[in-house]
Chains A and B, each alone.
Chain A
C-alpha cells in the first residue's frame, strides 16, 4: 500500500500551502527588515540597516526587557497555580475528574477578546469592583485597578493558565501516584515526596507547559493594549503601532524578527531538554 506517489498526494497540498503562506512570509519579514520605509507607508527600494540601528533607541531595549520580564513572571505564576491543580486532577477518578477538567477548560473556549474585555469592564474605574473596594476603604480614591502592570500580569495569567494546566494534567494523569506512597513509606515528608518524586515524574509536562505559556506570552499585544497603561507596553504593541499607527513596515519587521529570535530561545531549550530526556531516560 505504501507508495511514493501516495505520499506526495497526501503531503503536497498542506506542505505547499504552509510554504507559500508561512515560510515565504517569514522570509519576507526578515528581508523587509533590511529595507528602508517608503513615505507612502510601504516598503522602499534598496538595502539599509536603519531599522536595526533604531533598536538601539533607548525606548526599545526597555520594552524588550519588560516583555521578557512580564512573560517570565506570568509563566512562573501559571506553573505555580497549575501544579497543584494538575496534582489534584491527576489523582481523581471517574466522573468528577471529567467534570472538573471541563470546568477548567470551558473559560478557555470562550472568546479571547471577550475574556480580556470582561476584565476591563470588571476593573473599570466606574465599575462595581473598584467602587465597592473604595467604599469598603480597602483602596484609596486615587487607586486605579486598570491601566497598570498588575492588571496586565493578572489578565496574562488568566489567559494563559489553561495552557499550563492541560499539559501538566496530561502528565499527572499518567503519573503513578503509588510512587508518592512509596516515597512516604521510605521516610519522605509529603512535601519532599512531591518535590522529589511527583515533579520529576511530570517533568516533560512541565517543560511543555512552560513553553506553551512563555511563547504566546512574549507575543502579547491585546492584553497590554486593553488593560495596561502607556508604561506597560510590550513589544507586540510596538509592532502594531509601527504597522498600523505610523506605518513603518521595516521597523515593524525588525521588531518582529527580534521577537521571533527571543521566542526561539525557549523553543530550542525545550527541544534540547526533551531530546536529552529521551536519550537519557530518568
Chain B
C-alpha cells in the first residue's frame, strides 16, 4: 500500500511548512541578537522595549484597533443575526437578492472592497479616519456573522418554537426565551470571528484610513516594510499570537458546546 503513505508524508511536510515561520518568529522574540541570524542568548528586552515612551504610538494603534474591532463586531452581530433570520425563514425573491448581497463581500478580493469604499468616500468628500474604517469593517463583518448564524439556524429544531407557543409563550417571549438563547453560541462565534477579522485586516483599512488613524496591522506593516525594529515586531507578533490563540480556543469551545447540544 504505497499509495496510502504518500498523503501522510505530504501532510507532515505541510504542517512543518505552516509552523516554521511562526515558530521562528516566537523563538526570535526572545533572542538577544538584533538581527535574527544567530542566537546570542535569551532576553525579554524586546518585550520591555514595547513599554518605552518612544513606542507609545504602538499602544495608541492597539487601542484604536481594539475599539474598531469591538464596535464593528457589536454592530455586525446585530446586522448578521437579523439577516440570517431573514434568509432562514423566508423564501422570497427578496431573499434570493439578499443572499447574493451577503455572499459577494465574502467572495470578492478585499482589495476591491477597499478601493471602492475609498473612491466612494472621496466622491462624497468624507474625511477619512476611524469612522470610515469602522464602516468598512462592519460591511465585511456583517456578512461573516450572517454566514455563521445561518449555519447555526440550519440545525435549529423548528418544533421548539411550536412547543413554546403551546406552553403559553407569545411571539416576543419565543424570541427572547427560546430563539435568542439557542442562537447565542452562533451569534457569539460570529462576533468573535468578526473581532479577529477586524483586528486582522490590513488591506481594506489601508485604503480607508486617514491621517492619525493608524491601526496595529498598519503600524506593523510599515515597520516590516522599512525593516525597522524587526525584533520589536517579533515581540508584538508573539503577544498577538498568544491572544489570538486564546480567542480561537474560546470560540472553539463555544462551537463544540453547540455541536453537543444539537445532538
Contacts and interface: CB of A to CB of B under 8 A. Distances in A.
A81 B89 CA distance: 39
A10 B86 contact: yes
A7 B24 CA distance: 52
Interface in B136-175: 136, 138-139, 142-143, 146, 161, 171
A194 B3 contact: yes
Given A14-B146, A17-B79, A215-B107, A106 B101 contact: no
Interface residues of B, number: 90
Given A219-B112, A243-B118, A127 B37 contact: yes
Contact of B233 (A13, A117, A218): A117
A204 interface: no
Interface string B173-214: 000000000000000000000001001111100110000000
A218 B111 CA distance: 10
A84 B25 CA distance: 28
Contact of A190 (B4, B25, B78, B89): B4
A259 B111 contact: yes
Given A111-B200, A111-B237, A112-B200, A252 B101 contact: no
A239 B230 CA distance: 27
Say whether chain A's binding surface is mostly helix, strand, loop, or mixed. helix
A43 B122 contact: yes
Interface in A177-193: 189-191
Nearest to B241: A110
Interface string B238-257: 00110011001000100000
Given A29-B116, A29-B119, A109 B244 contact: yes
Interface string B211-243: 000000100110011010010011001001100
Contacts of B217: 111-113
B108 A243 contact: no
A59 interface: no
A136 interface: no
B155 to A, nearest CB: 15
A243 B221 contact: no
A218 B110 CA distance: 10
A29 B10 CA distance: 43
A14 B110 contact: no
Interface string A92-116: 0000000010111111011111111
Name the residue in A23, A107, A191 with the highest tally of chain B Cβ atoms < 10 Å from its Cβ.
Answer: A107
Contacts of A9: 82
B168 to A, nearest CB: 16
A270 B209 CA distance: 34
Contacts of A222: 202-203, 221
A171 interface: no
Interface in A236-260: 236, 239-240, 243, 249, 252-253, 256, 259-260
Contact of A117 (B37, B85, B101, B224): B224
B37 A128 contact: yes
Interface in A207-222: 211, 215-216, 218-219, 221-222
Interface centre among A14, A24, A117, A128 (most CB of B within 10 A): A14
A215 B24 CA distance: 30
Interface stretch (A48-56, A118-126, A137-145, A272-280): A118-126
A88 B118 contact: no
Nearest to B225: A226
B107 A267 contact: yes
Nearest to A28: B120
Contacts of A19: 101
Contacts of B120: 21, 24-25, 28-29
Interface of B: 1-4, 6-8, 10-11, 14-15, 17-22, 24-25, 28, 35-38, 78-80, 82-83, 85-86, 89-90, 92, 94-95, 97-98, 101-102, 104-105, 107-113, 115-120, 122-123, 135-136, 138-139, 142-143, 146, 161, 171, 196, 199-203, 206-207, 217, 220-221, 224-225, 227, 230, 233-234, 237, 240-241, 244-245, 248, 252
What 3 A-B pairs come out closest when comparing CB atoms? A219-B109, A84-B7, A190-B3
26 contacts: A7-B86, A7-B90, A11-B94, A14-B142, A17-B138, A17-B139, A21-B117, A24-B120, A28-B119, A29-B112, A29-B116, A88-B8, A103-B18, A113-B220, A118-B21, A121-B224, A121-B233, A126-B37, A190-B3, A215-B107, A215-B109, A249-B122, A252-B119, A253-B115, A263-B108, A267-B107
